[in-house]
Amino acid sequence: EAQVTQNPRYLITVTGKKLTVTCSQNMNHEYMSWYRQDPGLGLRQIYYSMNVEVTDKGDVPEGYKVSRKEKRNFPLILESPSPNQTSLYFCASSLRNSAYNEQFFGPGTRLTVL
C-alpha cells in the first residue's frame, strides 16, 4: 500500500531530551516536507527537501533539524525539545521535486514536551 508512515504516533517527553520522529514513504517521491499544526495557527512548514541531500528551511525551522540521506526517509530531529514544540506534526511527500499537485500526508505524530 502506498503510504507515508510516521513513528512514533504519540510521544510524551521532557525538556532537553533529544528525540527523532521518523518519516518514511514507499512511493519513490522526490519531495518531502515536515509541518506542525497548532490550534488557531493551521499548518506551518518546518523544513522541506526536494531531493536526497537537499534540504531547506520552511517558515518555522528554529529548534528543528532534518536530514535526507535516502530518498524514502526524512527524519525530524529535536536536539533539545522545549514545551513550545508541543504540537501535532505531519510529514508529507510529493512525486515531483516540489509540493506541486498532490502531497500525501502521514497520519501525524502528537508530541508533548513537559
Partner 1 sequence: GESVGLHLPTLSVQEGDNSIINCAYSNSASDYFIWYKQESGKGPQFIIDIRSNMDKRQGQRVTVLLNKTVKHLSLQIAATQPGDSAVYFCAGLSGGYQKVTFGTGTKLQVIP
Residues that bind partner 1 (CB under 8 A): 4, 31, 33, 35, 37, 39-45, 48, 50, 56, 58-59, 88, 90, 92, 98-103, 105-108, 110
40: CB partners within 8 A, 6+ apart: none
Task: Kindly report the backbone phi and psi dihedral angles of residue 24, in degrees, each rounded to the nearest multiple of 5, phi listed first.
Answer: -140, 140
Where does 30-81 show beta strands of DSSP type E?
A: 31-38, 42-51, 54-57, 65-66, 76-78
Least CB distance to partner 1 at residue 16 (A): 26
Distance in Å, CB of 80 to partner 1, minimum: 25
Shortest reach from residue 42's CB to partner 1, in Å: 4
Query: In this complex, which beta carbon is closest to partner 1, that of residue 17 or of residue 57?
Result: 57
For partner 1, the closer of residues 28 and 98 by Cβ is 98
